[in-house]
Amino acid sequence: MLSIFQILMLLLDVLFWIIMIQIVLSWLVAFNVINTRNDFVRQFLYALDRVTEPLYRPIRRILPDFGGLDFSPMVVLLAISILQKILLPNIFSSLMGATA
């Protein structure tokens, strides 16, 4: 049971860093620091979008339109933090207590 907890925490950590990398890259693209005409950069950004878009889509439907600002990555990061720090430890500690 402990290994499942560790795997879930690792996957959430990886997802957290994927979102952080996407946020930084989107800022670099917005300020024309990164050339999106470069094939590698375009493919890398596309891959990040493919990974994160299914997470953002339901949140974007709920959140109101803030113009050019997209708060869905922040909401996902907050949800990941809540999962890692509150929900998963409590769920797995209660499961471990039930099996002991």
Q: What SS3 class is residue 69?
A: strand
Structure-token match 């994927």, residue found: 18
**Token representation of residue 9:** 């925490």
In-domain check, residue 85? no
Collect all residues with Cβ–Cβ distance below 8 Å to 19 and sequence separation of at least 6: 52, 73, 76, 77, 80
In-domain check, residue 36? yes
Instruction: Please list the ranges in the chain whose pLDDT falls under 50.
Output: none
In-domain check, residue 42? yes
Domain that holds residue 19: 1-58
In-domain check, residue 81? no
Question: Which pTM was predicted?
Answer: 0.86
Q: Structural domain tally of the chain? A: 1
Report the distance separating Cα 4 and Cα 100, nearest Å: 17
Residue pair 29/46 in contact (Cβ under 8 Å)? The answer is: no
In-domain check, residue 100? no
